[in-house]
Amino acid sequence: MNIQIQPQRTAAEAALVDAFGERLSLLPGNGEVMLKRDAAIEALKAGLPTRRIETWHYTDLRRLLTTVPAFEPTAEAKAVAPLVEGSSVLALLNGTAVKAAAIDGVKVSPVSEKLGDGTYAPALGPQGADDAIGALNSAFVADGWLLDIADGTVLDKPVELQNVQAGGQVHARLAVKVGAGVTATVVERQTGTGAAFVSSVDNVTIGEGSDITWVIVQEQPETATYLGQFNAWIGKDARLTLFVMNAGGKLVRQEIRVVAKGEGSDFQLRGVNLLAGDTHTDVTMVLDHAVPHTGSREIVRNVVTGKAHGVFQGRINVHQKAQKTDAKMACNTLLLSDDGEFSTKPELEIFADDVQCGHGATVTEIHRDHLFYLMARGIEEKTARGLLVRAFLAEVIEELEDEAIVEALEARLIDWFAAHG
């Protein structure tokens, strides 16, 4: 006899289910959207993922998510200065898209509008049974930005998408459809001031021959929970460079799901995780090389201080027909404290026989000889350590081609070290 045992809901699970009931009447959406929301909350009712779910093994969300705050519709969030001066800023303040200036070559709509008329319904819903972030976000998403970049558009300044919380809950969508032959940089800021619970899902489709740089800077306060998911589909001969910097948050999971679906497409991931205090940060990537002649490189660098725990899971699936795939992944961690911890799990699943794939992971401390050399030139220990840690990260940041972005990111690094170094 089989008996389905439904474990008792945790406080956080109960709060989510209750919040959905209370929030439902305020959520935008036509009938189709509302059906998707119902299906998504049903998926959540089965419980948040635990360590027994393979993709959540190092981030037992059910155990780690102890509380979920109520919505705070009247809280005021303020837009922040853009990473790069002169960027076109599209802000989402406490979950609501704020009207902004037009951008040449880019059609911009608030997601609430597209939920209202149902055109956004197909993009809702979890992608598989372990997609808790997709389910959560689909149930609650109220707004966000939808960008449609016309063929041949070349943006000389970044578009900056800001998701700024002020406590409570925020569930956002950032969706960008990139046409063919586009060159653009998108900066995504995830920040705020409160002990918020934030989910944010990106859907990015990239047309033929386009070259897109996407920079996620996550700097939530050490009281906030942030669950992010970046989905991208890269078309023929197109290139996506994704840079992710995690420099905050109490409980953070950033999922990256990318499909190299056009021949000649290329994906580059560069990640920097700055982990401090008693925090938990998980970056989980699933990359599909679905067609022949595609390439990817992933380099993730982590600095762990305090009692922080970090996770990088990188899974590369090379499909059977994806011959000539060239994929390499590396994860390097600098452990600066005895109580810090970093878990790395690289996975390669290869069904094609003519490919080049590899991965490597290292965990090191600061090189004592390097430290001695710098100190022997009169650089005091703390400064010398800071130089060496920044050097470890700068190698990844400096690979970005845009000087203004490199400088801005290095400035964020320095700020982080000033606060946590």
Partner 1 sequence: MLEIKNLHARIVEDGTEIIRGLNLTVKAGEVAAIMGPNGSGKSTLSYILAGREDYEVTEGEILYNGESILEMDPAERAAAGIFLAFQYPMEIPGVATMEFLKVAMNEQRKARGEEPLKVPEFLKRVKDVAGTLEMDMAMLKRPLNVGFSGGEKKRAEILQMKLLQPKLCVMDETDSGLDIDALKIVADGVNSLRSPERAIIVITHYQRLLEHIVPDSVHVLYKGQVIKSGDKSLALDLEANGYAGVIGEAA
Binding of residue 395 to partner 1 (CB under 8 A): yes
In the complex, minimum distance from the CB of residue 271 to partner 1, in angstroms, rounded to a whole number? 16
Show contacts with partner 1 in window 299-338 (CB under 8 A): none
Outline where DSSP puts E strands in 276-395.
280-289, 295-304, 309-318, 326-335, 341-350, 356-364
Binding of residue 366 to partner 1 (CB under 8 A): no
Binding of residue 377 to partner 1 (CB under 8 A): yes
Whole-angstrom Cα distance, residue 376 to residue 293? 49
Q: Are strands 356-364 and 295-304 parallel, antiparallel or unpaired?
A: unpaired
Binding of residue 365 to partner 1 (CB under 8 A): no
Whole-angstrom Cα distance, residue 251 to residue 8? 23
Binding of residue 418 to partner 1 (CB under 8 A): no
Q: Which of 390, 405, 408, 416 binds partner 1 (CB under 8 A)?
A: 390
In the complex, minimum distance from the CB of residue 391 to partner 1, in angstroms, rounded to a whole number? 3
For residues 195 and 374, which CB has a smaller minimum distance to partner 1 in the complex? 374
For residues 286 and 304, which CB has a smaller minimum distance to partner 1 in the complex? 304
Total interface residues for partner 1 by CB under 8 A:
23
Whole-angstrom Cα distance, residue 153 to residue 104? 8
Show contacts with partner 1 in window 97-136 (CB under 8 A): none
Binding of residue 349 to partner 1 (CB under 8 A): no
Binding of residue 364 to partner 1 (CB under 8 A): no
Binding of residue 406 to partner 1 (CB under 8 A): no
Q: Are strands 239-246 and 96-97 parallel, antiparallel or unpaired?
A: unpaired
Cα torsion angle, 57, 272, 85, 104, sign: negative
Binding of residue 383 to partner 1 (CB under 8 A): yes
In the complex, minimum distance from the CB of residue 153 to partner 1, in angstroms, rounded to a whole number? 34
In the complex, minimum distance from the CB of residue 384 to partner 1, in angstroms, rounded to a whole number? 7
Binding of residue 379 to partner 1 (CB under 8 A): yes
For residues 52 and 368, which CB has a smaller minimum distance to partner 1 in the complex? 368
Q: Which of 57, 307, 370, 412 binds partner 1 (CB under 8 A)?
A: 370
In the complex, minimum distance from the CB of residue 171 to partner 1, in angstroms, rounded to a whole number? 38
Q: Which of 373, 401, 407, 414 binds partner 1 (CB under 8 A)?
A: 373
Whole-angstrom Cα distance, residue 288 to residue 297? 13
For residues 232 and 397, which CB has a smaller minimum distance to partner 1 in the complex? 397
- Helix, strand or coil, per DSSP, at residue 216: strand
β-sheet with 309-318: strand ranges across? 106-110, 143-149, 169-178, 197-206, 225-234, 251-260, 280-289, 309-318, 341-350
Whole-angstrom Cα distance, residue 115 to residue 103? 22
Cβ-based neighbours of 46, under 8 Å, separated by 6 or more: none
β-sheet bridge partners, residue 12:
none
> Letter for the amino acid at 335?
L
CA 393 to chain centroid: 18
Longest dimension (CA), the chain: 74
Which window, 210-218, 327-335, 338-346, 365-373, contacts partner 1 (CB under 8 A)? 365-373
Q: Which of 391, 411, 414, 419 binds partner 1 (CB under 8 A)?
A: 391
Binding of residue 79 to partner 1 (CB under 8 A): no
Q: Which of 75, 135, 178, 384 binds partner 1 (CB under 8 A)?
A: 384
Nearest CA among 81, 102, 106, 78 for reference residue 92: 78
Task: Summarize as ranges the residues that interact with partner 1 (CB under 8 A).
Answer: 368-370, 372-381, 383-384, 387-388, 390-395
